[in-house]
Amino acid sequence: MTDVAILYFSGYGHTVKQAEALEVGASSIQGTKVDVLRIDENGDLPDVGWDKLKDAKAIVFGSPTYMGGPAWQLKRVADASSKPWFSQEWKNKIAGGFTTSITTNGDKASTISYFVTLAMQHSMVWAGTAVMPANAKANGPDDAGWTGGMTGALAIAPSDASPEEGAAKGDMETARLYGARIAEMAMKLN
């Protein structure tokens, strides 16, 4: 039985870090079973993945932001979700989203906005991060909420940073807090 499913794609490993932090957060809520479903390079998701999505109480969508939106591999799975959409299998599940991109702002908001639209087609219920922005002069990448944007979890990984270097402490903490929130919401609503 899956409670929280983290459905994501990662091209170079940076988004993996965010997914891991979300997993830690969701797993920290007692009694929550988390399943991490990584979409492969061809945009495929095995049947067992679809079964887990059907069972989950919450689905969190994740992808790097490539050329201003989610990677095509993620979109391929989203397009294939027209089947569960048709019978509204995901109705009333909690939804959330996360994205990593190399530029400070970049177009992360475009990716998250797409996830909201997708979730609404599935009649899911969207929960944002609830992590308040850390936006004083003294704040920096080590602080949760420094990257900001409360609709989903955002992370900045510079273009020449390895996944380890790119994973800013604050972004990872935001993802962890978000994972916990999603798990709590999934319990409350179901």
Q: Which is nearer to a copy of itself, 48 or 91 (CB)?
A: 91
Rounded distance between C-alpha atoms, residue 70 and residue 77, angstroms: 11
The 92-121 contact track toward a copy of itself, x by CB under 8 A, reads x---------xxxxxxxxx--xx-xxx-xx
The least CB distance from residue 41 to a copy of itself, in Å, is 12
8 Å CB contact between 155 and 147: yes
8 Å CB contact between 74 and 99: no
CA distances (Å), 60 to each of 22, 135, 180, in order?
A: 9, 26, 12
Using the rule CB under 8 A, which residue among 149, 172, 175, 176 binds a copy of itself?
149
List 145's β-bridge partners, or say none. none
Rounded distance between C-alpha atoms, residue 38 and residue 55, angstroms: 17
The least CB distance from residue 19 to a copy of itself, in Å, is 19
Q: Give kind and range of the element (H or E) at residue 70.
A: strand 69-70
The 1-40 contact track toward a copy of itself, x by CB under 8 A, reads ----------------------------------------
* Cα angle for residues 169, 173, 142 (degrees, 5° grid): 30
The 52-91 contact track toward a copy of itself, x by CB under 8 A, reads --------------xxxxxxxx-xx-xx-xx--x--x--x
Quick check: 51 binds a copy of itself (CB under 8 A)?
no
Rounded distance between C-alpha atoms, residue 3 and residue 61, angstroms: 14
Residues of the shown chain interacting with a copy of itself in the complex, contacts defined by CB under 8 A = 43, 66-73, 75-76, 78-79, 81-82, 85, 88, 91-92, 102-110, 113-114, 116-118, 120-121, 123, 125-128, 130, 132-133, 135-137, 139, 146-151, 154, 158-161, 165, 185, 188-189
